Chains A and B, each alone.
Chain A
């Protein structure tokens, strides 16, 4: 695919960098052949070398799990329980406690007063800033821990599952790998190869999220995905109307 005699140097002079580190550098690899590195890329420090905020990562993971949750637990209230329309014994004279129905919450087998009611949602939205900082923290943590690999493209020589498995094994890419590209139409070979492998997944860059990044041991980004991520995240971090955009409705009620 690429001319392997010329190294691929993707050096970008970042204008908005206000960090101690001007830019981070990473190797650019290829899935096509067995050569380890074909070039180098500079990464923006505001996206890839941020001090990871563990509390924000945790908030994001909890949100991703909870906002989709629909609880189907359901109990019947007193009028819903079968029976209990008749007064069990007269009000006075029997010497027993007074009752009007055998299905009152006081009775065994009676209705539940404040029990769960089906289809209770736990939907809430996290503020935009928290979600963005979640992405930058996770990307920085992955990069710092050497779990972030950058690839020039997802083009592959063969469509055999064994090929990609062996490649990941040789390069010591973790058991689970997430391949991210900037398009949602992936090349043919990698689609077929990873189709049967459950722990190797393909994802477009707009689907990137904290939960998936933590679930997979290794994150493989293409150069296009890296630039697209940087562009979008930096736009949100530097936009003048951030307070307006951050006023997300449906915030979590404590």
Chain B
């Protein structure tokens, strides 16, 4: 194939990247690798020929490099941070210290080891709902404690709160995300 720049323009474009072709030349038992550079059909690079000596005929399976592949595979679950119960990590994350039985209720962490407190902002300017989910045990007791805590903190504001037992959640009218999280962390959840 000619390599003049004029004919290069009319050469069909090979979509495959730089490839190596293994060819047997004669009966000498040598293997020759010929590189075909296919960058947009223009071959500025010379055709290189590499000869592989016969001693490299055997193929060996190596598992020494598997660790480099393994570290790229994404984890199946978010790993639990290594912190003692109740410890405050430098990022601000607090490890849970409460154990079921401490209180009549229990609020476990989510799959990402965070508190299950969420704020929903409906598409109306002032409609916020704070919800505490995954509440187990006596949800009404936790509801009353939350109501008391928030009423004291935001007095004289009236706190509207609803305990939805079948869905294991407490809904509070308003945006009290940080205060509710503070309260739960103080309890050790």
Contact = CB atoms under 8 A, between A and B. Distances in A.
Given A18-B109, A20-B100, A53-B167, A239 B136 contact: no
Contacts of A21: 100
Given A20-B136, A53-B167, A242-B111, A235 B76 contact: yes
Interface string A204-228: 0000000000000000000000000
A19 B167 contact: no
Contacts, number: 34
Contact of B166 (A19, A20, A53): A53
Contacts of A237: 111
Interface in B94-146: 100, 106, 108-109, 111-112, 136-137
Contact of B111 (A20, A51, A53, A238): A238
Contact of B74 (A16, A235, A240, A242): A240
Contact of B77 (A19, A20, A240): A240
Nearest to B105: A20
Given A51-B168, A53-B167, A20 B78 contact: no
Interface in B150-168: 166-168
A62 to B, nearest CB: 18
A192 interface: no
Nearest to B109: A18
Contacts of B136: 19-20, 51
Contacts of B167: 53
Contact of A240 (B78, B109, B137, B168): B78
A144 interface: no
B76 A239 contact: yes
Contacts of A239: 76-77, 111
B75 interface: yes
Interface string A11-40: 000001011110000000000000000000
Nearest to A21: B100
B-side interface size class: 10 to 19
Interface in B75-91: 75-78
Q: From B75, B111, B167, B168, name the one whose CB has the most chain A CB atoms within 10 angstroms.
A: B111
B134 to A, nearest CB: 8
B106 A238 contact: no
Interface in A63-107: none
Contacts of A53: 166-167
Interface of A is mostly: loop
A241 B112 CA distance: 11
A32 to B, nearest CB: 36
A247 interface: no
A241 B136 CA distance: 26
A64 to B, nearest CB: 22
A54 interface: yes
Contacts of B112: 240
B108 A19 contact: yes
Given A19-B108, A20-B100, A238 B78 contact: yes
Contacts of A20: 100, 106, 136-137
A175 B50 CA distance: 75
A74 B108 CA distance: 53
Contacts of A238: 76-78, 111
A97 B179 CA distance: 74
Q: From A54, A235, A237, A239, name the one whose CB has the most chain B CB atoms within 10 angstroms.
A: A239
Interface of B: 74-78, 100, 106, 108-109, 111-112, 136-137, 166-168
14 contacts: A19-B100, A19-B136, A20-B136, A51-B136, A51-B168, A53-B166, A237-B111, A238-B76, A238-B78, A239-B76, A239-B77, A239-B111, A240-B77, A240-B112
Closest 9 CB pairs of A and B: A18-B108, A238-B77, A20-B100, A238-B111, A20-B136, A20-B106, A240-B78, A51-B168, A235-B76
Given A18-B109, A238-B76, 14 more contacts: A18-B108, A19-B100, A20-B100, A20-B106, A20-B136, A20-B137, A51-B136, A235-B76, A235-B77, A238-B77, A239-B76, A239-B111, A240-B77, A241-B74
